[in-house]
Amino acid sequence: MNTRNFEVIIIGGSYAGLSAALSLGRAIRKVLVIDNGKPCNRHTPHSHNFLTQDGRSPAIIAETGKEQVMQYPTVQFMDAWVTEVKKEKEQFIVFTSDHQNLTAKKILFATGVKDLMPGIESFDDCWGISAIHCPYCHGYEYKGKKTGLLANGDIAFEFSQLLHNWTDQLTIFTNGPSTITSAQADQLVLKNIFIVEKKIRKFQHHKGYIQSMKFRDGSTFQLDAIYAKLSFEQHSPIPEKLGCKINEQGYIQIDEFQRTSIPGIYAAGDNTTSMRSVASAVAAGTKAGAFINHDLISGN
């Protein structure tokens, strides 16, 4: 098996990974980006709130980024899934699904997170289209519309306060007994926000655009959009296996220079923060690229 050597291997070649590759390519570093093409926003037709790219499709933004990055001759891109990373003396060995054996001095995980679907029939068909995660990304398109929030407890209470900025037709669906306190419910009523505790059977939709929610008791509720606070897991389990500290919220712990708790390993983008946006991922990737280059120069 051929071993190929790089200064930096970036695992994950979406917004964070490509931005890091751009900084490193411009620093004339020998870089390999490995990506298997499953960014978390791939289901959404239009990406919003990233300056110069507002309303463009997520894939077009990433393709444009990749085209620009690949103009730097020291950067290579590989379409593959990374299965394992091992630390051996002063270097890392990266193994891929197509049996490649690669080495690098530094590793950047820009691997993102995986949203866990809630197990409601047809929810997945609506995810990213009319079942959405963030009002800054998609709230403007549904302003003033009949909107749901699939969440419970304190999170539902706090998120609903924010969403009320975009619509005064908001209903919280707890999909089972509500854990919102009665004091919180009283405050919600003042804003005309009501709570529905019925168990949800399915989303009725047309091409991902929700029309109504059907409950297990057979009744329905008409909706134009629904926000969902989903659980998530790290898209790649490798950082944790390597010993990188994961914080209580499930994100890779990093310092202000994108370094993880393991020397030589960095992380950037959604895998490190709940501030989930293309702009934030791009900013973090740019920073990671600059500090990896800095550490290569200073021998850290």
Ligand X SMILES: Cc1cc2nc3c(=O)[nH]c(=O)nc-3n(C[C@H](O)[C@H](O)[C@H](O)COP(=O)(O)OP(=O)(O)OC[C@H]3O[C@@H](n4cnc5c(N)ncnc54)[C@H](O)[C@@H]3O)c2cc1C
Q: Which residues form the interface with ligand X (CB under 6 A)?
A: 11-12, 14-17, 34-41, 43-44, 47-50, 81-82, 110-112, 115, 127-128, 133, 137-138, 235-236, 269-270, 276-279, 281
Closer residue to ligand X (CB): 120 or 180? 120
Residue 233's CB is within 10 A of a number of other CB atoms, namely 11
Q: Rounded to the nearest whole angstrom, what is the least distance from the CB of residue 283 to ligand X in the complex?
A: 11
Query: Which strands, in side-by-side order, build the sheet including 194-196?
Result: 131-132, 225-228, 147-150, 170-173, 194-196
In the complex, residue closest to ligand X by CB: 269
CB nearer to ligand X: pick between 76 and 187: 76
CA 73-50-77 angle, 5° bins: 25
Closest approach of ligand X to the CB of residue 78, in Å: 9
Q: How far is the CB of 300 from ligand X (least distance, A)?
A: 24
The distance of closest approach from Cβ of residue 110 to ligand X in the complex, given in angstroms and rounded to an integer, is 5
Q: Nearest approach, Cβ of 89 to ligand X (angstroms)?
A: 23
Question: Strand runs (DSSP E) across 44-164, as ranges?
Answer: 75-79, 82-88, 91-96, 101-109, 113-115, 131-132, 147-150
Nearer Cβ to ligand X (11/75)? 11
Rounded least distance, CB 230 to ligand X, Å: 9
In the chain, helix, strand, coil percent, each to 5? Answer: 30, 30, 45
CB nearer to ligand X: pick between 141 and 197: 141
Nearer to ligand X, 132 or 180 (CB): 132
Give the whole-angstrom CA distance, residue 241 versus residue 218: 46
Residues in the chain, how many? 300
In the bound state with ligand X, the residue whose beta carbon lies nearer, of 173 and 232, is 232
66-75 residues labelled b (16+ CB within 10 A) or e (exposed):
beebeebebb
Using CA atoms, how far apart are residues 231 and 220, in angstroms rounded to an integer? 25
